[in-house]
Every structure is written in structure tokens, then in C-alpha cells.
Structure 1
Amino acid sequence: MITPSLVTATTVLRALVLRGMAHLVVAPGSRSAPLAYAAAAAHASGALSVHVRIDERDAGFTALGIARSTGLPCAVVTTSGTAVGELLPAVMEASHAGVPVVVLSADRPPELRGTGANQTTRQPGIFENFARAAVDLLPVRDPGLGEAEQRADAESFLTPVLDALHGSDATPPGPVHVNVALRDPLHPVSDDDHRHLHTWARALAEEVERARAEEPPARIAHSWSVLDEPFLTPDAAPAPDRTPTPHLACQDAAGTPHGTPLSRYTMTPGGPSAPDDATRSEGTLPVPASTVRARPGSSHPVVLAGDGAGAATARFAQAHGLPLLAEPSSNARTGDAAIASYESLLASSLGARVDSVVLVGRPTLSRTVSALLRRPDVSVVAVRPEPVPWFDRGRRPEQEVAGFAEAAGVVGPAEDGWLETWQAAGAVADAAVLRHADSRPGLTRLHVARAVWDASCEDGSVLVVGSSTVVRDLDLVARAQAPLPVVANRGVAGIDGTLATAHGVALGTGRPVRAVMGDLTFLHDSGGLLLGTGERVPDLHVVVVNDAGGGIFQTLEHGAVGQDQRYAATVERFFGTAHSVSIAELCAAHGVEYVRADSAIELTAALAAPVVGRRVVEVPLERETLREFNLAAHEVGARAVEEFLAGR
């Protein structure tokens, strides 16, 4: 007789693999051992690529990065007890971003719950506010049931829960929780068990090969949560591919290849054409069939591309001659309509003329944008062809439409020359902001942001961006150019798990990944650097902007409060959170290559290195004058726009 816990484990994993799961992340534990033995057998047969992490929080975010970047479900296995609670941050992010993460938590059987049994707590319902569905998968009541009956029993409970990964007409896709109660024995105990694992894994590999030859697995994540199809490899093999990645054609408006020194940047209006509709991936929003520019009218609309809006948004803006204000993680910051330094324009008299907004995706970064969306004289039309995961229906005021064509009809044609004015003013603002950065001695945050963005565009890397200040730096200075795949955890916008997410993106896509984040974001997830011996090492270079503390708070109200000597020490301790951690020594302890860049030349050289293996690039900056620098950068941009408009 085959051990029942192994039958349950193989049944659960087979159900997930047949739904397109190609990667599984496992954290070690005794109660979850049957799932680990099944995972090992599936990995050996080639049916599944398995990654082991000792930290459950990092395991969860690794699974999140894989699922978000591929659109396919990825499960994370944990043992019982506090290990399950460690997954809550990743599940929260998955819920708000519409990502199909599957929690497989091992648990004690019912007879041991509530008895004080070691490492036992109330696991069912732990993710109640965030999981789309959950099941407490209990052991079969009749121990005399055969293997086929045991499988059928488990599958009857699994099917509706795994169906919920897809969402519904009223609910977006998202995470689910399968709590797997397992009785001893928790390991193979007989030759029948060994044969079962081997035979099951080999049959599963053959089944997967046949199924994927007939039809590739369909992506089930929310369409705004995943990278467009052209950014993904056709089939990410379990073994890392060390073949150099071809460079993307990435030029500025004048046709000059990037790769120039960091400082003294210039920006001209326009950029490369938007991708042809033929490259549109399944699940992205359709652009109206006609690409003929609408008849000039008298309205002043803009298109706002929030997190995950996608390249179709850029095509829509360009086709209708509308200014495109695209956040870095919108994956829409490309094409002639994308406006540089758009925050500076919104703060000017040109921004005051905006009377309507076509909103796509989720705007998360700018208070200036939030103020625009709240203005009583501005109508907001949100393109939402399906339920979205980041707000409850009825809790936002904008008018919803099902597609771009309907949105275009609502806002009407733009005034003649409206886009051209924004393009020219955006170029002026961008140049002014960068002159401001160049006027400072040494590197600034804006130089680093621009350089990382350009380097990622040039070498074809996926860019993972941390929360807080870094993503806002990119929003201010990242130039619109060839499409760049960007991933950011903007569902709940936490800093936790960023390194692990970047690892997951690299493992899931099989692409080189460049990540950029602040020092606190890096230190918060420094455990993400830990890979066990023999684990697959992704191609990942991490740029750490190190200002020895929480720079984001300098740019908020707390920065102003901290200038009052009565609160200076309080703000520094509770918000600045200064530290003296040696990132070089931290990297050395984890066996990760490290380089420090103190100048533009050193940063240029560091970013020019091929993204192969793991490497950390530390860029030390000062934090004390960040508030003044940040405010001045926005002000000089807005002032340059006003001077430009006055001279027209």
C-alpha cells in the first residue's frame, strides 16, 4: 500500500502542473515532507522546476516574482505553524496585484489540532481577506480506500479552489490557499512508495510534454500584472541559459545609441514608434482598429498609465494624439506620445488645462497625479474590461468603460496641437531637471535612475524596481524609448521581499534581470541573497542606492517636521532609521559579487557589465539634502515649462 500522505502530495502537485505550473518553491519542514519528496521526484523527471528557500517569506516572494512575470500559477510549500504566517506579505501583494500564487501549507490532521501539539496553530482561514478561495484538505476518512479513490477524493476538493485562480466575471484572478493536513508517516517507507514516486513523476513529465505540445498553458494572472508576451522567452528551461542576450534597438529621438556618460544628458521630443498591433499579447487591451488621428477638437485629455497598463495604452495614446503620462511599471512608457517629466507639466499652467483623463492600470506614485484625479473640473474615464484586484467595486468615482474605443468616444478629440505642446514642454522640463542634477557635485539619485533605465533598455534586461524613493526617481527622469519590461510590487507597495521577487522574475522568465532599490529595501530582504548549495543561480544584478537610511521620508511631511530642531532627533530616529551596515561584507557573507560605484565613470562601467550571475552594485549617496534636492528638481521643471509656454 502506498503511504496516504504521498498520494495526497502527488495528487496536489499533479493538479497544479496540469494547470500550467512550471515552477514550485519549497521551504523545508517535517510536516510538509511528503510534498517535498513529490517535488523532488517531479524535478528529477523534468515535469517541474523546483527552488528551495529556507526563509518562508523569501519563498513566498520568489513564487510571487515567478507568477507575476509569467502569468502562470506558482505554488509555495511550507510546513505548519509560524511558517505559514511568513507568507502573508506575499499573499497580500498577490491579492492586490491579481497574481496566481498558490499557498500549499502542511498541517496536522484534525485529531491533533487544539491539543497543544507542537508547531500547530489555526491555519485554515489565515489568508481569509486575501485568498480568492481556500480549502482545508483533510486526510481521507476511510484508510482502506485505494489509491484511485484517494486521488478522486482529494481532486474533488481541489478543483473549485484552483478554479478560483482564474477569477470570474466579478472577481479578478489572485492567490488561493490549500491547507494540506497530513498524517504520519510523512516519508517513503516501502518499495511501493519509491516506485510510486518514480512512476508518478515520469508519467507526469510525459503528460505535461503532450499537453504543452498541443497547446501552451494559458496565462491566468490579471492581464495588467504580467509582462507582455514579447518580453518572455518561449519556454524557460530549468537550467539557466548563459547565452548572451541580444541587445534591443534602443535609441533616442535623434537615432543616437545610448551608452553615453551619465551626466550632461539631453532629451528631445518623441521617440521610436509604438509596437505594431501584431505584437500585442493575448489578454492585453485592444486598440481601436482605426489608427487615423481623430479630428481636432477643443478638449484637453491626457492618458494616465498606471502600474501594469501595458503597451496597448501607448498605442492608444499615439493613435489618438493624446499626451501619455506613464509610470515606470506601467510598461507603457514608450512611443512618441509618452511625456518626459510629466509631473513638472502637471504642476504648470499646462497641467491646469487638462479637462479629462483616460486612466489605465493603477496609479500609485505621485501626489500630483492623485490631485489631478480629484480635481472637480476633470472627468476621469477608466478603461477596465475586467474586474481589477486593487479596489472594491463602487469605491472609486471614475466612469468605467470596457475598452479604448469607448474611452475615446467619451473624452472626444483633442485640441489641435495639444500633444505637440506637451511633447515640447516635456522635453524642456526633462532637460531642466537633468541640468539641475548636473549642477550638483558628483552622482545624484536622478543620474542613477536614468543610467539604470537606459542600461536595462540597451541590454534587454527585465527591470525590477523597489518601492519608496527609487521608483519615483525613475518616474521623473526615465526617458520614453523602446519598450522596457518593468516589474514592481505596487499591489501594496511594500519594500519587503523585493530581492526575492527579483530572483523569481529571473527564474520565471529565464531572462537577465537588473533590479534597483534603496538600501533599506535591500537590507529588509537581504536574506533573499541566500541560495542553498546547488540551487539555480539566476542572472541578476542589483543596484543599491545607499543613503544610509529612509530617504523617502525626507520627501514627505516628516522631512519638513525634521527641520524643526524640536523634532529633528525624533524624525531621524523613527523615520530616517540611519544604519552603518556594510553592504560589501553582507555580499561577501552570501558569496555574491560586489562592486562600489562612487562616480559616473564607475557606475557606467558597472552597468556595462553583462548581466550574468549575481552581482550587487552599491552607489553611496548622501541623504541630508534629499528633501531640498527633490523639491528643487520638481520646481525647476515646472518653472522651465512656464518659461517655455510664455515664449511660444
Structure 2
Amino acid sequence: MSISVFNRRWAAVLLETLTRHGVQHVCIAPGSRSTSLTLEAAANAKITCHTHFDERGLGHLALGIAKVTGQPVAVIVTSGTAVANLYPALIEASLTGERLVLLTADRPPELIDCGANQAIRQQGIFADHPTQSLSLPRPTPDISAAWLTSILDQALGEQKQGALHINCPFAEPLYGGDASAYADWSETLGDWWQSDKPWLLSDNQRRVRQQFDWLQWRQRRGVVIAARMGAEQGQQLAAWAKQLGWPLLGDVLSSSGQPLPCADLWLNNPKAQEILAQAEIVVQFGASLTGKRMLQWQASCCPKEYWLIDNISGRLDPANHRGRRLVADISEWLELHPAEAHPFWADELNILSARARTHVTNYLEHRFGEAQLACYLGELLPSQGLFWAGNSLIVRLIDALGQLPAGYPVYSNRGASGIDGLFSTAAGVQRAADKPMLAVLGDISALYDLNSLALMKQCTAPVVLVVVNNDGGSIFSLLPTPEAERERFYRMPHGINFEHAAAMFGLSYASPKSWQEVKQAVDAHWQQRGVLLLELQVAPHDGAETLRQLVNDVVNF
């Protein structure tokens, strides 16, 4: 029984060390091998525990919480395939920068590769996707508590983005024993237990520096690209670009208000391309652009200088422009690079984007479907709330046809752009923000993460989940997939509706047949509590065909 007690001591030091680096939330899946970690997380008053029965959804729940809090979030799972289910969330965090600390319980070394139950090779299981990996030894009093907290401090202190994987083997027994045993091992850390500082402090802070020639560049003609960023940053950037007199091309995830709306339509217009070609500098803030035409223009533009600012390291520019890759917090960078007032140099873009927006709203006014939803989405957003954008076709439609308010919080999983874990990440976002939330995603995405609707039952404010059901993966209707095989091997129609899914998880349900019914159902729900699953049943190809039609219309303006 002494082994189980020391396992708890070891886990207590581990969990307490995490709190010294900002970990306040721990997401826990059921498991026996992880008992020591789970019970010590629950016993630590500084930690809020979240649970889910599905490790894949659990990882995405943690990802959503990390998106809102900006702090590292820990995940505890048992050994075996439970660990592998964290892979999708880990990959997304590695691309979008949220910090996850994955605590994977493991069998001790003597049980690996010998046929023992639930024992797999967990060391290195995530390859090079974590920013760091740490394999702890089997807990033993022969190793000092100071060593354990020091090695954890070093790894956590260096974690600026992405996931840290800590593999934690525990030998049996896992339960029982004299709880007072091995107190002297823990007490060697002295008054560290009463403090709030790490045992080992590291200074790894990034320091943002002003570009030496910024005062010259702000006199020139520039273009701003606003990609994925926070709500406050989007609002700051929009004001900064406006003062400079530079056109801002805003992605749906930028929270910039998209001052030149429908850019993903009019960027194909020859006149727009002629105007934008006059830019001497392009400054991109954030990564992961959504729109196809935006990506094409970004790849083909040839300014004298191309700067990309994001707090995530890495090149982040698939077009490999010649210029500067500046790793910095966007707000700090803007403060160090003040704008100077200049008149807007591309007035014709204002006219073109306004014409495009007017054409889109008029065209879709009486055409019920996912394109109409995308166009008028701003009318559904809750006051003082947030928006969750799904992946695949719907986010492209919103990006091209909609216009969201400046400074409105928008969240998504657009790093790897997978359709897994969208309900669960949205649940984490809402839980951490504690605000009303509108979420929009497609039917295949919803089916893929259906059991995470269980997490939605715990939402703390009104939530509307809009599932756009076009009976399959209609994004493939936009791609040059072989027509003869498109339905069977790409779109894969399923013939399923979500009414019974809503009932199964105790959610309210609506299936409106017009925009007026959509608006009424959503507006009414903001005055209530709980979750409304609103299923938008639409024709399979309408969204893709409408987008194609509108791109063709605007290119000829």
C-alpha cells in the first residue's frame, strides 16, 4: 500500500507545480491508472476540474478553455488508447498556439512490451507535434521532490505555445494505504507549499521591438490583412489601419468588422487587383486565412515588403514572401508601431466592396438556405456574447458573404481545420467565457462529435447550436472531384436529421423553414437558459452553387 501513497505524494507535487505556471483548469477522463493524478487535482483548491467520458472530446474541451483564458490547461487520461485520442486536439494546439499540458498515466516500464493489459508504448506517441515531451520515471522516494518540481518548472517555463506531453508511469497498487506516509519527502520543499512561485524561475519572455524603419514605411501605400486574432486585437487593428488610410482585408476570424466586406468575392475582380497591386507594403496580422480568393491574392501579391506579425512562431506564410516574420503579441506590436493619419488611398475598393455587399444581401434576401444564413448571420448574434465558427463549407460562406461586428469574439479550430472536436471545443470556449454563444457547424462535423453534446448540457448561459444539414460533405461540390464518384466517395449522403440527437442529450430543438422562423427561434432563445439545437435542413448543393454564382457576378462588376 506504500506505493499507492507515494504515487499520491508524487502527483501532488506535480499538480501543485502546474498551478505555479498558470494552470487553473484540469480536464479529466475516467481511468484507474490515472487515479493519483485525478485525486490530487480534485484535492487542490487552486484547480477547477472538468470531466468528460470521451478523451477525444476532453482534449478539445481543454483546447476551448485555453482559447478563452490564454492560460495553459491540463488534461489527465489513463493509459493505452486513451492517450491516442488526445492527438487531434494536440495537433490543433500546435498550429494555433494554445497551451495544453497532457498528463498521460502509463504502466511502469516492466509492463511494456510483455503482453500486459492496456500497456502500449506511450513515450514519443505524439511524434514531434508537442513543443516538448517529458517522460517521468516511476515514482520513487529515491528521487527528490526538488528534482521533480525543477524538471517540471523548466519544461513549463519554456512552453510558449502548443502542447507539453508529460508521460507519468504509476505502479500498482493505486488505491489505499496510510495517507500520512512519506510526508517527510514532500516536506523537503519547505515553505514552497505556502508560496505561489515556481521552485525554479526561468526568464524566457519575448520582447517586442520596434522596426527601425517603421516611420518611413507608414508614409507609403500599404495593405493590411487581418487573419485569426482576438476580439480586442481585431478592433485595435481596424482603427490602426483606418488611421493609416490602408485597406484592411478582414478574415471572418479577425473580429475586425471586415470594413471592406465580401473580400473573398471581389478579390477576383480585375479592377480590385489593379488597385491592390499599387501597395508597396503588405502587413499581415495573424495566420490561417479562410477564403480561397483571399489566399490566392495573398500568394500572388508582390509588394516591396511583406510583414507577418503573430505571437506564434514559425513561418506561417505558405507563399514564402520576401519580408519579415515578426513574433509578437499583436496589441503590443501595434502600440510600438503607431499609425500616422493619412487619407484612404484606395477609394474604389470602398465602392466595389459596398456594391458586392449590396448585391449579396439583395440576391439572398428571399433564398432560404446556408448562404442566406451566412449573409445575415450578424443579426443572430447574442448581445455581449460570442460566436463559434465551424469548419468546411459554412465558414467559407460566412467569410465570403457575411459581415460580423468589429470587436465581436470569434472562435474556431482553423489550425488544422479538422471537423473533429467542434462541439467539444465550443463547449470549452463557452464554459471559460461564461457568455451566450451562437455556434454554426455542418452536419458531418456534428455527427463526428455527437457525444460531446453531453458537454453542452453544462453550458452556463444560453447557447444556440446551428447545424447546417445539407446531407453530406457539400464542400466537395466546390472542388474538382470526379462527378461520377462525388456522391458515394466524397459527399457521402447520410439521410440523418438531428431531432432525436437533441432529445437524447436533453437539448431543445427547432427546424425552421424560413429566415423569419430562424430569427424568431434564435431571438426567443436568448431570453432563456439551456441549449437550442437549431437544424437548418437545406438542399445538398445550394450553398456551394450560390457561392460560385456570386463569385462570378462580382468578378464582372
**TM value normalised by structure 1:** 0.75
For 2:357, the equivalent position in structure 1 comes to: 430
RMSD: 3.7
Between the aligned partners of 2:249 and 2:178, the Cα distance in structure 1 is 63
Between the aligned partners of 2:71 and 2:205, the Cα distance in structure 1 is 7
Does residue 130 of the first structure (1) align with residue 133 of the second (2)?
A: no
For 1:156, the equivalent position in structure 2 comes to: 150
Between the aligned partners of 1:118 and 1:474, the Cα distance in structure 2 is 48
- The 8 Å contact of residues 210 and 337 in structure 2, kept in 1 or not, is answered as no
Please state how far the C-alpha of 1:593 moved relative to its aligned partner: 1.8
Between the aligned partners of 2:146 and 2:372, the Cα distance in structure 1 is 59
Does residue 185 of the first structure (1) align with residue 173 of the second (2)?
A: yes
Between the aligned partners of 2:429 and 2:156, the Cα distance in structure 1 is 22
Between the aligned partners of 2:404 and 2:532, the Cα distance in structure 1 is 27
For 2:313, the equivalent position in structure 1 comes to: 388
Code of the residue aligned with 1:573 in structure 2: it is R
Does residue 418 of the first structure (1) align with residue 339 of the second (2)?
A: no
After superposition, residues 621-632 of structure 1 pair within 5 angstroms as: 621-632=538-549
- The 8 Å contact of residues 306 and 321 in structure 2, kept in 1 or not, is answered as no
Q: Secondary structure at the match of 1:165?
A: coil
Code of the residue aligned with 1:364 in structure 2: it is L
Please state how far the C-alpha of 1:205 moved relative to its aligned partner: 11
For 1:170, the equivalent position in structure 2 comes to: none
- The 8 Å contact of residues 430 and 459 in structure 2, kept in 1 or not, is answered as no
Does residue 618 of the first structure (1) align with residue 535 of the second (2)?
A: yes
Please state how far the C-alpha of 1:512 moved relative to its aligned partner: 2.4
Cα 1:204/1:419, change in 2 over 3 Å: farther
For 2:299, the equivalent position in structure 1 comes to: 374
Between the aligned partners of 2:521 and 2:193, the Cα distance in structure 1 is 41
For 2:200, the equivalent position in structure 1 comes to: none
- The 8 Å contact of residues 340 and 480 in structure 1, kept in 2 or not, is answered as no
- The 8 Å contact of residues 373 and 380 in structure 1, kept in 2 or not, is answered as no
- The 8 Å contact of residues 426 and 439 in structure 2, kept in 1 or not, is answered as yes
Q: Secondary structure at the match of 1:494?
A: coil
Does residue 349 of the first structure (1) align with residue 270 of the second (2)?
A: yes
Aligned equivalent of 2:35, options 30, 33, 36: 33
For 1:305, the equivalent position in structure 2 comes to: 226
For structure 1, the 5+ residue unaligned runs are 167-172, 212-219, 223-282, 643-648
Code of the residue aligned with 1:619 in structure 2: it is L
Cα 1:545/1:390, change in 2 over 3 Å: farther
Q: Secondary structure at the match of 2:180?
A: helix
For 1:446, the equivalent position in structure 2 comes to: 371
The superposition leaves residues 425-466 of structure 1 with CA deviations (integer Å, 9 ceiling, x where unpaired) of: 2111001012221353xx12232124433322x512111111
Between the aligned partners of 1:578 and 1:22, the Cα distance in structure 2 is 42
- The 8 Å contact of residues 436 and 636 in structure 1, kept in 2 or not, is answered as no
Cα 1:78/1:624, change in 2 over 3 Å: same
**Kindly, what percent of the aligned residue pairs are identical?**
27
Cα 1:419/1:483, change in 2 over 3 Å: farther
Code of the residue aligned with 1:548 in structure 2: it is D
Between the aligned partners of 1:113 and 1:390, the Cα distance in structure 2 is 39
For 1:231, the equivalent position in structure 2 comes to: none
Q: Secondary structure at the match of 1:511?
A: coil
For 1:279, the equivalent position in structure 2 comes to: none
After superposition, residues 391-406 of structure 1 pair within 5 angstroms as: 391=316, 396-400=320-324, 402=326
Please state how far the C-alpha of 1:470 moved relative to its aligned partner: 1.1
**TM value normalised by structure 2:** 0.86
For 2:329, the equivalent position in structure 1 comes to: none
Between the aligned partners of 2:182 and 2:532, the Cα distance in structure 1 is 40
Q: Secondary structure at the match of 2:464?
A: strand
Between the aligned partners of 1:495 and 1:114, the Cα distance in structure 2 is 34
Between the aligned partners of 1:583 and 1:10, the Cα distance in structure 2 is 43
Aligned equivalent of 2:465, options 524, 542, 551: 542
Cα 1:38/1:618, change in 2 over 3 Å: same
Between the aligned partners of 1:360 and 1:532, the Cα distance in structure 2 is 32
Cα 1:30/1:432, change in 2 over 3 Å: same
Code of the residue aligned with 2:545 in structure 1: it is E
Does residue 332 of the first structure (1) align with residue 294 of the second (2)?
A: no
After superposition, residues 137-216 of structure 1 pair within 5 angstroms as: 137-141=136-140, 143=141, 145=142, 150-166=144-160, 173-192=161-180
Q: Secondary structure at the match of 2:56?
A: helix
Between the aligned partners of 1:221 and 1:573, the Cα distance in structure 2 is 52
Aligned equivalent of 1:22, options 5, 24, 27: 24
Between the aligned partners of 1:195 and 1:479, the Cα distance in structure 2 is 60
Aligned equivalent of 1:590, options 488, 505, 520: 505
After superposition, residues 455-604 of structure 1 pair within 5 angstroms as: 455-456=380-381, 458-479=382-403, 481-531=405-455, 539-558=462-481, 561-562=482-483, 567=484, 570-604=485-519
For 1:71, the equivalent position in structure 2 comes to: 70
For structure 2, the 5+ residue unaligned runs are 198-203, 327-332
Between the aligned partners of 1:494 and 1:374, the Cα distance in structure 2 is 23
Between the aligned partners of 2:436 and 2:347, the Cα distance in structure 1 is 36
